[in-house]
């Protein structure tokens, strides 16, 4: 049976394609892609498509993609109607809480405003802390918001820490680690189990191989 795999384009794309290639998948069309969005595998009966991270979940939940590769950040913020099968241990970064150093966010009295691209993650974090905050949704360059006074602090992704540092912000807490995950449509898991599990186990052996070579 044929498989459809949704890959998140952007930061995760190159490493995901690299892992598939190392597993022996025929991904030449993904490497020389131009403006195409759908790519046939030259070895297996698989088609890949490249989508934005939120859309990856949508395609998998609706069964248009049997399998998806997407960041844990997007999974924590989005829907839940899929199986999360594997941590690819690529695209590693973390969710952090940050602010300007002079804002004592956790001891601040009165109304607290938090800017973020990830309102669900931020809401759940502050709920667990027992803090009542106002969440302000921002679509990008989140570090700008506290500098301009839109909010007191942010919940955002940190990888190297350069963006925070260059904008004079300090990390106050880590919310959780993030990495790319493989998700599977629930019906595909039952109806195409053999094909789906082959992809998962091929990728899993690559994760193990990468972990060994990192030691
Ligand atoms: N420094 C980083 N900043 C953001 N995401 C990162 C970073 N490092 C790894 N990632 C992972 O890469 C995924 C894709 O990020 P990318 O910036 O390519 O797309 P995006 O979050 O949809 O943003 P955009 O809307 O700018 O395309 C994220 O969901 C996250 O899991
Ligand atoms: O710790 P660093 O290595 O500096 O990376 C973190 C930055 O990268 C992401 O932004 P992105 O480049 O995706 O742009 P955006 O803010 O427009 O989403 C994230 O939101 C931080 O701003």
CB of 167 closer than 6 angstroms to any ligand 2 atom: no
d(CA 81, CA 83): 7
Which residue's C-alpha comes closest to atom 1 of ligand 1? 159
The secondary structure of 60-80 as a DSSP string is: HHTTSSSEEEEEHHHHHHS--
Quick check: CB of 130 below 6 Å from ligand 2? no
Q: Express each pLDDT in 62-116 by its tens digit.
A: 999 999 999 999 999 988 999 999 999 999 999 999 999 999 999 988 999 999 9
Reported ipTM exceeds the 0.90 cut = yes
Largest CA distance in the chain: 61
Please state, in angstroms and rounded to a whole number, the distance separating the CA atoms of residues 57 and 74. 8
Angle (deg, nearest 10), helices 13-22 and 193-214:
100
Helices (H), the chain: 13-22, 28-31, 53-61, 72-77, 119-128, 144-147, 162-166, 186-191, 193-214
30 CA to middle of ligand 1, Å? 19
Q: How far are the Cα atoms of 64, 98, 128, 197 from residue 142, in angstroms, in the given order?
A: 32, 10, 22, 38
All structural domains of the chain, each given as residue ranges with its CATH number in brackets, are: 3-91+179-214 (3.40.190.10), 93-177 (3.40.190.10)
Label residue 177 exposed, middle or buried (CB < 10 Å: 0-12, 13-18, 19+).
exposed
Is the pLDDT reported for residue 141 higher than 80? yes
The Cβ of residue 174 has, within 10 Å, a number of other Cβ atoms equal to: 11
CA distance 24 to 9: 21
Distance 24 CA to ligand 1 centre (A): 26
- Taking the CA of 72 as reference, the closest ligand is 1
> Which of 116, 137, 159, 160 most suits a substitution to test ligand 2, by most atoms within 8 Å of the C-beta?
159
Question: Could you tell me if the CB of 141 is within 6 A of ligand 2?
Answer: yes
Q: Is it the case that residue 1 has pLDDT exceeding 80?
A: no
């Amino acid at each position: 049976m044929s498989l459809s795999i949704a890959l998140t384009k952007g930061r995760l794309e190159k490493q995901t394609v690299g892992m598939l290639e190392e597993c022996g998948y025929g991904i030449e069309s993904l490497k020389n892609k131009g403006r195409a969005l759908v790519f046939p595998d030259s070895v297996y009966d698989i088609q890949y498509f490249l989508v934005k991270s939120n859309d990856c979940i949508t395609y998998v939940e609706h069964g248009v993609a049997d399998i998806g590769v997407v960041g844990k950040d997007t999974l924590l913020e989005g829907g839940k109607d899929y199986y999360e099968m594997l941590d690819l241990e690529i695209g590693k970064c973390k969710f952090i809480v940050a602010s300007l150093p002079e804002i004592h966010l956790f001891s601040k009295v009165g109304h607290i405003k938090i800017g973020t691209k990830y309102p669900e993650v931020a809401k759940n974090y502050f709920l667990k802390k027992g803090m009542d905050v106002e969440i302000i949704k921002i679509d990008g360059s989140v570090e700008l918001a506290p500098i301009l006074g839109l909010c007191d602090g942010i919940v955002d992704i940190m990888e190297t820490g350069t963006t925070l540092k260059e904008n004079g912000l300090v990390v106050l807490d880590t919310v959780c680690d993030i990495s790319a995950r493989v998700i599977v449509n629930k019906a595909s898991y039952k109806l195409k189990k053999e094909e789906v599990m082959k992809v998962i186990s091929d990728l899993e052996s690559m994760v193990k191989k990468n972990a060994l070579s990192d030691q």
